[in-house]
């Protein structure tokens, strides 16, 4: 809604380890978005448990982690001398980052709130707040987690986080095995967060074909390192972060771009002959849709073996065209020979033959 001051967005701030949808369902008209509180734990699990639960509820409403771990507050609010917990420590920036990325990539796609000990209670040198703030508010607002939340915003804006869907099922193995690894993707990118101490993750990304471009982002500094792997693939992908710190990995989708033209809506679903044919090294493929449809465009060799997935999407009616560059899913040049390309839509299948001459 427009932030004009005339209309306000409404929700409920729940107690720790609970969510507004525990009390009000998604049919509650005055609830504009749901809020949950993962509370002040290092490496807690309610960050992603509540995000996943809220994301799945219907009818859909946005979900926000409204109170995650405050930087520099004592873990679980256990202060020194507390008889419930002998070992106490303060929440560090990496704990804040972990709560942030776990929440957003697990379905809390509204964004994230950041809090710091000394800020939330407006502590001053004259009137120190509760929960043992070490510095007054004027200094607490400059804790590292504050600027690192800005890095989080930049990353999520760059990769259009609001259009992503969580896919925790992509993770098939991880070391250590107790880690939770949040994964989400949209049509263009897949994002993975590696908590501190994660040495490896194995993903099976289904129909999300990885194009071999890996962007490792340090969430503490914002520095990026790009690498180009020699292969395309769906997985399993074995991913090893650069070091034992926490990392964000952005993977680009490897499927070809097919663009819809401005021509009138076709009268029938059809697949055109590729041009040129024979070809080397690339050829154009065009197809026509009469209605909204799920679309798969796949390349096979003369033996019927899978070579490359070009399109896997829901598309509007219209005429689409794009290119096959003669590369296999593995990113290697396909050898000379006969190939078949098959269009699958809600109306059925159609295929044609083409000849690659190296």
Q: In whole angstroms, what is the distance from residue 108 CA to residue 111 CA? A: 7
Q: What is the pLDDT of residue 84?
A: 67
Residues 214 and 155 in one domain: yes
Q: Which residues of the chain have pLDDT under 70?
A: 1-6, 82-87, 207, 209, 211-212, 228-235, 254-257, 330-331
**Residue 104 lies inside a defined structural domain of this protein:** yes
Residues 89 and 122 in one domain: yes
**Residue 9 lies inside a defined structural domain of this protein:** no
Read off the pTM.
0.72
End residue of a domain, out of 232, 253, 274: 253
Residue numbers of the domain that contains 326: 259-356
Residues 217 and 275 in one domain: no
Model pLDDT for residues 258-313, shown as the tens digit of each residue = 788 878 999 999 999 999 999 998 899 999 999 999 899 999 999 999 999 888 88
Q: What is the pLDDT of residue 214?
A: 86
End residue of a domain, out of 225, 253, 281: 253
Q: What is the pLDDT of residue 162?
A: 87
Model pLDDT for residues 114-148, shown as the tens digit of each residue = 999 999 999 999 988 899 999 999 999 999 999 99
Could you give the number of structural domains in the chain? 2
Residue 266: CB atoms within 10 A of its CB come to: 15
Residues 44 and 128 in one domain: yes
């Amino acid at each position: 809604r427009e932030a004009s001051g005339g209309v306000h967005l409404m929700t409920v701030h729940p107690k720790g380890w609970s969510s507004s949808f525990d009390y009000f369902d998604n049919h509650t008209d005055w609830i504009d978005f749901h809020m949950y509180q993962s509370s002040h734990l290092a490496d807690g699990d309610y960050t992603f448990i509540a995000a996943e639960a809220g994301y799945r509820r219907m009818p859909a409403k946005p979900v926000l982690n409204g109170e995650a771990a405050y930087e520099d507050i004592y873990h679980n609010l256990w202060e020194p001398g507390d008889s419930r917990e002998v070992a106490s420590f303060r929440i560090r920036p990496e704990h804040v980052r972990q709560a942030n990325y776990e929440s957003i990539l697990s379905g809390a796609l509204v964004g994230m709130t950041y809090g710091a000990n000394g800020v939330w209670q407006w502590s001053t040198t004259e009137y120190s707040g509760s929960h043992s703030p070490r510095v007054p508010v004027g200094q607490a607002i400059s804790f590292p987690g504050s600027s690192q939340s800005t890095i989080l915003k930049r990353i999520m804006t760059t990769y259009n986080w609001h259009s992503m869907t969580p896919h925790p099922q992509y993770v098939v193995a991880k070391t250590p095995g107790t880690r939770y690894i949040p994964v989400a993707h949209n049509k263009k990118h897949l994002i993975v967060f590696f908590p501190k101490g994660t040495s490896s993750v194995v993903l099976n990304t289904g129909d999300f074909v990885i194009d071999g471009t890996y962007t490792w982002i340090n969430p503490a500094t914002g520095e990026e390192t790009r690498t180009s792997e020699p292969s395309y693939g769906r997985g399993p992908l074995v991913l090893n972060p650069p070091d034992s710190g926490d990392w964000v990995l952005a993977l680009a989708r490897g499927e070809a771009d097919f663009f819809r033209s401005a021509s009138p809506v076709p009268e029938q679903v059809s697949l055109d002959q590729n041009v040129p044919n024979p070809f080397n090294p690339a050829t154009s493929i065009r197809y026509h849709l009469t209605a909204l449809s799920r679309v798969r465009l796949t390349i096979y060799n003369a033996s019927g073996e899978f070579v490359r997935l070009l399109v896997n999407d829901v598309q509007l009616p219209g005429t689409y065209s794009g290119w096959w560059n003669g590369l296999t899913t593995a990113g290697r040049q396909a050898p000379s020979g006969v190939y078949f390309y098959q269009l699958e839509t809600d109306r059925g299948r159609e295929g044609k033959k083409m000849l690659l001459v190296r």
